[in-house]
Structure 1
Amino acid sequence: MSLLERYIFKRALGFSLASLMSLVLIVWVVQALQRIDIVRTSASAAGNIFWIALMLVPDLAAGVVPFAIIIGAIQALNALNADSERAVIAASGASSAVVVKPILALGMVAALLLLVLSHVVGPAAQRGFYNGLRTINADAITLFLQPGRFVEIQDGLIISIGAVNGSTVDSLFLSDLRDPTADLTYFAKQAQILQRDQASYLLLIDGQLHRKTVADGATSIIQFQTYAFDLASLKPEGSDDWVRTSERPTGELLFPDLNDPDYQSKPASFTKELAQRFSDWLYPIAFALWALVVAGHPRTNRQGAGPAMVLGLSGALVLKALGFVSLSLVDRNVQLQLVVYLVPLASIAFSILLLYANVNVSDLSLVRRTGDAVRAIAQSGAALWPGASPAGGKAGRR
């Protein structure tokens, strides 16, 4: 890259990194800590919460990296216009590639990062997260639950034990009210913490399951010899994979064991996970090109930033929503996995077409009329507040 291209790349990279750190922090605080619904009375659990929450960062980062790219790219392009640098570049006769190349390079770097996160770091972090939850819940049951006391270890999940002998629990009672349609109550003469496939499970032995339907109050009783719970979420066997597809290495998804019970029962989940991992890296490129479409044209600093950021984020949200919808289609028909790749590829092709045709989306009449309507509504709303001054006007002096 030339000196000017490196300058633009560095500015866009700086804005993108700042956006990425802000987005990851916000999502981590709002989402990650809510997902760690583990024993709150355990000092050992409290000490491990921060470490386990860190295991969610790669997955969260993979979700927000494309948005950090489009925010950073648009901010950099708007800054070039605000400083009249973009207009000078155009007036000097420089090709539009001077602006396109660094922004596209930023998208490619982010795409490479997502490939590493999706195929290497992400699965390992997911294994660490769920194994950490299993360990904490196992410790809570065997070390911190006091015999004879009823403790709510999750919202709607209450457990009580009679006695603990190592990894064996006598007289276990478990009430599960998490399902709004049915109340589940488990009684077991004995329960054991066992290891399987590098994970911990709670195995109930010789007991009963009482199921009460909330709608009509009908109760059914099921006698069982063994009943297993995954200690990562305390969900019974069959309600989720023993080893989640998000925890599996990519090689294991590409060449699954045909005798694997998870693969035999849910082959579509393997296809869906692979489609997501191999398509995620396309979104940073699509978002970088879309940023060039909405903010890459030269403007004078008198024209202002315009609707570039609104258009950029709106288009990004629509594209990502379509990506989620296409992934959901794979559950119904694995042959529809092609749609997962077509969504970002179609966006890339559309943006390239607009750039080649030199279409300034921000100057389209529909966009201008929409922007004028929004500003008019905002000014009308501001006028309803006492003492409010019109946009661009000066507040009156006392």
Structure 2
Amino acid sequence: MGQIERYIMRNAAVAFVACLVALTLVIWVTQILRELDLVTGKGQTFAIFLTVTMLSLPALITIIAPVALFIATLYALNKLNGDSELIVMSAAGMAPARLLRPFAAIMLVVSIVVAAMTIHLMPASFAALRDLITQIRADFVATIVKEGQFTTLESGLTFHFRQRSGDALLGIFMQDRRDPERTTIYLAERGQTVDVDGQSYLILEKGSVQRQEPNSRDSAIVTFERYAIDLSSFGQDGGEIVYKPRERSTMELLFPDKEENYYKMQEGRFRAELHERFAAPLYAIAFTLIAFAALGEPRTTRQGRGSAMAAALIAVVLVRIAGFAASSALVRTPAAVVGVYGAPILGSLGALFLIFGGHGVKRRISRLADAAAAQLAAFLPRVRRA
């Protein structure tokens, strides 16, 4: 790679890193604000709060990285054109393939990183997050519930105790309405959490369990002297952690347990998650090529670059929306897998056609974009006057 290519690569790489960091921080802050309830409402330490938000970063980066690369490519090409460097390179006989080479190198590196994150790191982080949330829920007596307050542990699950007496809780009330077909109420004079073989249990003493069945006016009441509740079952089915498709490794998606009840109910989501992981790196390629197709040719000061950028942005949005739509359709029908891979591949092929052979088509698109921009510019003053 020559000195010119290294110069272009350095500008594009710096712009990419800056965009990636800025966009990630902005979106990460929104995640932090959303999870702030862990500290303020659920009594967790700042370390737990920071761990939860950090575990969401791989998923954010896999989505943000292609967008950051698209913005960086536009910025680098626009800067080269603004400084007349593209015109000089073109006049010196620099072919489009040579100009594309540094962007292609960055594009391949980003694609490989995104592939590694979507195939391995992202599901591992989601699984770790699920384990951590389960641990937080299991430790709710020590960290979440407050004396004399009704606390909603999750949707449909409410806990209350009158007061503490050492390590014990007195006057316990717990209502479980997570199952819409049945409401269960636990009442106990006394309760205490214990750990057995790494599992947390709430041991209730001298109380009753009331179950209200649907279409029944009477409740079934069972009294007890001692009753144990597995705290790790909160938010889970059958007392075990059931990992969602995005929380499972790629090997588990490739070779799922077809006898598992959850898989039978969510087979479409397993299929969509698997193909979405494999298709994710293709968007870094498609977005880079679209940006290069829009601004890869030198333009004079009279030729506006804004319309070309707008056209590239619209193309990127359309490609990503098509990918999301195909992924959603894949949950219902396996035939939609064509669209999951087709959206980024067609976007890449269309951009390559414009870069290397579709100069006439590109000029017509540019004229249409310029005309649309001119009409919009003429329309806005009329709107302001109105």
- The verdict on a shared fold, with TM-score over 0.5 as the criterion, is yes
Deviations 1:37-63 (A, max 9, x none): 546344434442122101101101111
Following TM superposition, by how much is the alpha carbon of 1:312 offset from its aligned partner in structure 2, in angstroms?
Answer: 2.1
Whole-Å Cα distance in 2 between the matches of residues 201 and 339 of structure 1? 48
How is 1:206-245 mapped onto 2 (pairs within 5 angstroms)?
A: 207-208=209-210, 235=235, 237=237, 242-245=242-245
Indicate how the Cα distance of structure 1 residues 200 and 332 shifts in structure 2: closer, same or farther if over 3 A, else same: farther
Partner of 1:282: 282
How does 1:221-370 map onto structure 2 within 5 Å? 235=235, 237=237, 242-356=242-356, 357-358=358-359, 359-360=361-362, 364-370=366-372
One-letter amino acid of the counterpart of residue 174, structure 2: F
Partner of 1:372: 374
Query: In 2, Cα distance between the equivalents of 1:307 and 1:379?
Result: 19
Is contact 1:53-1:129 (8 Å) kept?
A: no
Aligned counterparts of 1:334 and 1:165: Cα–Cα separation in 2: 58
Once residues 164 and 137 of structure 1 are traced to their aligned partners in structure 2, the CA distance between those partners, rounded to angstroms, is 22
In the TM superposition, residue 361 of structure 1 has moved relative to its aligned partner by 5.6
TM-score (norm 1): 0.78
Equivalent residue letter for 1:129 = L
Report if aligned partners of 2:157, 2:174 keep a CA contact under 8 Å in 1.
Answer: no
Residues 148 and 160, structure 1, Cα contact 8 Å, conserved in 2: yes
1:175-201 CA-to-partner distances (Å, cap 9, x unmatched) read 769x9xx89964125799899xx9989
Q: Structure 1 residue 337: deviation in Å? A: 2.1
The structural deviation recorded for 1:100 is 1.4
Contact 2:294 2:308 in 1 (8 A): yes
Spell out the pairing of 1:158-169 with structure 2 (5 A cutoff). 158-161=158-161
For residues 21 and 157 of structure 1, do their structure 2 counterparts lie closer, same or farther at Cα, with a shift above 3 Å needed? farther
Amino acid at match of 2:297: H
Over residues 212-268 of structure 1, what are the superposed CA-to-partner deviations in whole Å (9 max), with x where a residue is unaligned?
9xxxxx99888699998877xx54639x98111111111121112333332233222
Q: 1:209, CA displacement in angstroms?
A: 5.9
Counterpart amino acid of residue 90 in structure 1: S
Shift of the alpha carbon at 1:278? Answer: 0.6
**CA contact under 8 A between 1:107 and 1:287: conserved in structure 2?**
no
1:187 matched to 2:185: yes
Q: Which one has a larger percent helix, Structure 1 or Structure 2?
A: 2
TM value normalised by structure 2: 0.81
Report the counterpart of residue 118 of structure 2 in structure 1.
118
Deviation at 1:308, TM superposition (A): 3.0
Consecutive unaligned residues in structure 1, runs of 5 or more: 213-217, 385-398
The SS at the match of 2:185 is strand
Comparing 296-305 with 115-124, which one deviates more in the overlay?
A: 296-305
1:173 equivalent in structure 2: 174
Query: Bigger CA drift: 57-66 or 256-265?
Result: 256-265
Aligned 8 A contact 2:308 2:369 in 1: no
Secondary structure in 1 matching 2:305: coil
Deviations 1:328-371 (A, max 9, x none): 11111234223211111111121112222234368633211111
CA distance in structure 2 between the aligned counterparts of 1:207 and 1:329, rounded to whole angstroms:
44
Residue 149 of structure 2 aligns to a residue whose secondary structure is coil
Alignment size in residue pairs: 372
Distance 1:373 1:315 in 2: 20
Q: Which blocks of at least 5 consecutive residues in structure 2 are unaligned?
A: 223-227
**Preserved CA contact (<8 Å) 1:110 1:284:** yes
Report the equivalent of 2:11.
11
Change (3 A) 1:221 1:276: farther
1:127 partner SS:
helix
When residues 74 and 161 of structure 1 are mapped into structure 2, their CA distance, relative to the original with a 3 A threshold, is same
Aligned CA distance change for structure 1 residues 29 and 39 (closer, same or farther; 3 Å) = closer
- CA deviations on 1:262-291 (whole Å, 9 max, x unpaired) are 223322222111111111010000001100
Distance of aligned partners of 1:42 and 1:267 in 2 relative to their CA distance in 1, 3 Å threshold: closer
Label 1:279 to 1:138 Cα distance change in 2 as closer, same or farther (>3 A). same
Give the AA of the match of 1:70: F
Which letter does structure 1 place at the counterpart of 2:90? A
Partners of 1:307 and 1:37 lie apart in 2 by 44
Query: Take 2:101 and 2:221, find their aligned partners in 1: how far apart are those partners?
Result: 64
SS at match of 2:343: helix
Task: Decide whether the 8 Å contact of 1:39 with 1:140 is kept in 2.
Answer: no
Which amino acid counterpart does residue 185 of structure 2 have in structure 1? F
Larger displacement relative to structure 2 (253-262 or 155-164): 155-164
- Separation of aligned partners in 2, 1:75 and 1:28: 23
Cα separation, 1, equivalents of 2:203 and 2:271: 30
CA RMSD of aligned residues (A): 4.0
Preserved CA contact (<8 Å) 1:33 1:53: no
- C-alpha contact (below 8 Å) 2:108/2:285 kept by paired residues: yes
Give distance in 2, aligned partners of 1:337 and 1:136. 38
Residues 252/137 of structure 1: CA separation in 2 closer, same or farther (3 Å cut):
same
One-letter amino acid of the counterpart of residue 338, structure 1: V
Q: Does 1:109 align with 2:109?
A: yes
Q: 2: CA distance between counterparts of 1:382 and 1:362?
A: 31
Seen in structure 2, the aligned counterparts of structure 1 residues 210 and 24 have a Cα distance that, compared at 3 Å, is farther
Q: Tell me which moved more, 357-366 or 91-100.
A: 357-366
Separation (CA, whole Å) in 2 of partners of 1:68 and 1:93: 30
Alignment partner of 2:159: what SS? strand
What CA distance in whole angstroms lies between the structure 2 residues aligned with 1:110 and 1:41? 39
Please report how far the alpha carbon of residue 81 of structure 1 lies from its aligned counterpart in structure 2 after TM superposition.
Answer: 0.4
